[in-house]
Amino acid sequence: MKSDDTPAVATEPEASTPPRRRKAHIRHSNEAHLLACAEAVFAERGLDGASTAMIAERAGLPKANLHYYFPTKLDLYRRVLEDVFEEWHRAADTFESSDDPADAIAGYVRAKMALSRRRPLGSKVWANEIIHGATHMQDILTDRVKPWMETRITMIDDWIERGLLARVDARTFLFTIWALTQHFADFDAQIQALAGKRALSKKAFEATTEEVVALVLRACGASPVDAGDASGAVADSGTRRD
């Protein structure tokens, strides 16, 4: 983290690559490496807190080199946001994996949790940008996220009409899934401070994932996909009345 001499060489070009392709490869490899380092620094410090010098240092390149590949800091930031969106979008496909609501929703929640685990830094950059007004990603939200959301709302409303789901507000329900799953990436510092641990182990994260799946499925009134030990059921008193 505070390394004064990170080598950070990103996949050396092969010896026998022809000149054209080698240059293209260098560009591609340096860009990818810079993007990864930028994602980390933007996640840790935010757009304003991150300096091009910090990103370049982490990448093991001189600052001028960074500006050679990405003319301005904002260009680099935009590219990071777009990358994060593309991965989110791939995970979002899970929603269509099944026509059974419990299946589809559980699958989506698991995919989102896995993403929070695998790429928490991207989630943080995204969250940070939205908190500060989403000024640099209005187009992504309007042109890409919104259309996706509209189709899923139709899907959910259809499930409700067929009696497969409780009468939830579809939009609020989708926000629920996002808020919950991304919380484990964005707020991990708080989770660690309150749980007194350094970081969640793979096993603990999987347990938490199933806990979240169960919470979400109950919240929307979909029955559990596979009955775990005691996941979906109220202890013994069923639906209580006073």
Partner DNA sequence: GTCTATATGTTGATAGAC
Partner DNA sequence: GTCTATCAACATATAGAC
Please report, as ranges, the residues that interact with DNA according to CB under 7 A: 23-24, 26-27, 30, 50-54, 61-65, 67-68, 71-74
Asked if 200 is part of the footprint of a second copy (rule: CB under 8 A), the reply reads: no
CA-nearest of 96, 58, 88, 99 to 76 is 58
Give 143: exposed, middle or buried? Use CB within 10 Å, 0-12, 13-18, 19+: exposed
198 near a second copy (CB under 8 A): no
The string over 37-76, giving b where at least 16 C-beta atoms fall within 10 Å of a residue's C-beta and e elsewhere, is bbbbbbbbeebeebebebbbbbbbbeeeebeebbeebeeb
62's contact among DNA, a second copy, none, with CB below 5 to 8 A by partner kind, is DNA
Task: Check binding of 216 to a second copy (CB under 8 A).
Answer: yes
- Part in contact with a second copy (CB under 8 A); list of ranges 8-16, 52-60, 64-72, 127-135: 127-135
Instruction: Calculate the CA 209 to chain-centre distance.
Output: 14
Nearer Cβ to DNA (68/175) = 68
Minimum CB separation of residue 19 from DNA in Å reads: 10
Q: Which is nearer to a second copy, 27 or 167 (CB)?
A: 167
Residue 6 CB, nearest approach to a second copy (Å): 19
d(CA 135, CA 150): 22
Sign of the Cα torsion 156, 160, 166, 170 reads positive
What residues between 53 and 92 interact with a second copy by CB under 8 A? none
Question: Least separation, in Å, of the C-beta of 99 and DNA?
Answer: 48
Q: Output 54 or 156, the one with its CB closest to DNA.
A: 54
114 touches a second copy (CB under 8 A): no
Residue nearer to DNA on the CB measure, 41 or 174: 41
141 binds, among a second copy, DNA, none (CB under 5 to 8 A by kind): a second copy
Closer residue to a second copy in complex, CB, 37/160 = 160
Each residue 140-179 as x (binds a second copy by CB under 8 A) or -, in order, gives: -xx--xx--x----------x--xxxxxxx-xxx-xx-xx
100 binds a second copy (CB under 8 A): yes
29: exposed, middle or buried (Cβ count in 10 Å: 0-12, 13-18, 19+) = middle
Beta carbons of 181 and 212 less than 8 angstroms apart: yes
> Is residue 218 a contact partner of residue 150, using CB atoms and an 8 Å limit?
no
* CA–CA dist 158, 108 (Å, integer): 18
With CB under 8 A as the contact rule, the residue among 35, 43, 92, 105 that binds a second copy is 43
